[in-house]
Amino acid sequence: MTGTPYSPGLEGVVAGETAISTVGKEGLGLNYRGYAIHDLAEHASFEEVAYLLIHGKLPDGGELARYRKRLAGLRGLPEALKGVLEQLPAKAHPMDVLRTGCSALGAMEPETAEHGTYQVADRLLAVFPAMLLYWHHFHRTGERIETESAEESQAGHFLALLHGRQPDALQRRAVDASLILYAEHEFNASTFSARVTASTLSDFYAAVTSAIGTLRGPLHGGANEEAMRLISRFASPEEAEAAVRAMLAAGQKIMGFGHRVYKKQADPRSAIIQEWSRRLSEASGDLLLYRVSERIERLVREEKGMFANLDFYSASAYHLCGIPTPMFTPVFVLARVAGWSAHIIEQRGANRIFRPIAAYVGPAPRPYVPIEQRG
């Protein structure tokens, strides 16, 4: 098989069909079930979008109200899960907390005929902020926070649990919009991972746990944290330009740039989150991070012909919402679980196990050598 052509990273390989979203397709751009991302980010709420992705249609007023109420009623943590979260180290990465919490919940509330696909999807969507912030507060202050709340939006619920007060209206809307942008993106690595796990007919929690593990890496979800570490190093746009120019000259990657699909076109989500970053910066009166980001973005575009992806301006936007940097990728989970759920459901609806083949590049067949004769 040596020399058999293949596509490293499965670039350009069509690995299945989906009716959930389109990414970078000629004339279609990015849309979720036919709705343009710009319209959704401007007019919809995250709960509306999650409903659209998972149930295949936009909810009417009554459906949305009932969905929000259902999610709000699913934010409580089982005592056993609180115990697991308390046992995890204070220094754990919050992505490890969500990965472990998801897996533990799957053992405590397994998927069954009664607690089926849609119930598990709702439960995970509702409970991830609680899981993350229960662990966060317990290990910082020893407080066992109450995670149930009647707050109708997931964004508001997350910010209220994080800061322990009613969220600022602009920050609430910015996080809501960012959850919409992060909710779904076709066959990205974590979604593909969820579908591969689902394709073995494993359970819903296993598929989401696989996806969280895949999202964690800096080439995927972890890029927003790396982008924050980069932009926060500089005291001025000029300093940022000089440093990033040197990084590019040294062949280093600038996190938050580049994309497997958006190579010749900009990531349409980037301009939307950039606008939120600008608004939040102006409201805070501190434009440094935004100006540094703008300068880096222009430089990388001019020097490498490479566009900022969603993760780049998300970094400053999240920072300005008071979200600690290690929580940036977990916030991605709170959103993308909607897309993962939709994909697990779609995969199950027309399943065939994923089982590609490899081009063999190992040794030619050779005789087995008994251990005492090996030297």
Binding site for ligand COA (CB under 6 A): 9, 219-220, 223, 253-260, 304, 306, 309, 311
Nearer to ligand COA, 48 or 225 (CB): 225
Distance separating alpha carbons of residues 315 and 281, to the nearest angstrom: 12
CB 202 within 8 A of CB 194: no
Distance separating alpha carbons of residues 338 and 182, to the nearest angstrom: 9
- Least distance between ligand COA and beta carbon 8 (Å): 8
What is the dihedral angle through the alpha carbons of 277, 278, 284, 287, rounded to the nearest 10 degrees? 110
Distance separating alpha carbons of residues 337 and 212, to the nearest angstrom: 9
Nearer to ligand COA, 168 or 241 (CB): 241
Distance separating alpha carbons of residues 173 and 179, to the nearest angstrom: 10
Which residues 6+ apart lie within 8 Å of 145 measured at CB?
Answer: 133, 134, 137, 138, 161, 164
Nearer to ligand COA, 171 or 277 (CB): 277
Active-site residue set: 220, 259, 311
Show the tokens assigned to 66: 């009932």
Nearer to ligand COA, 90 or 250 (CB): 250
DSSP 8-state code for residue 152 = S
- Least distance between ligand COA and beta carbon 69 (Å): 33
- Least distance between ligand COA and beta carbon 273 (Å): 12
DSSP 8-state code for residue 252 = -
Show the tokens assigned to 263: 């190579």
Q: Which residue is nearest to ligand COA (CB)?
A: 258
CA atoms within 13 A on the CB side of 14: 5
Nearer to ligand COA, 70 or 301 (CB): 301
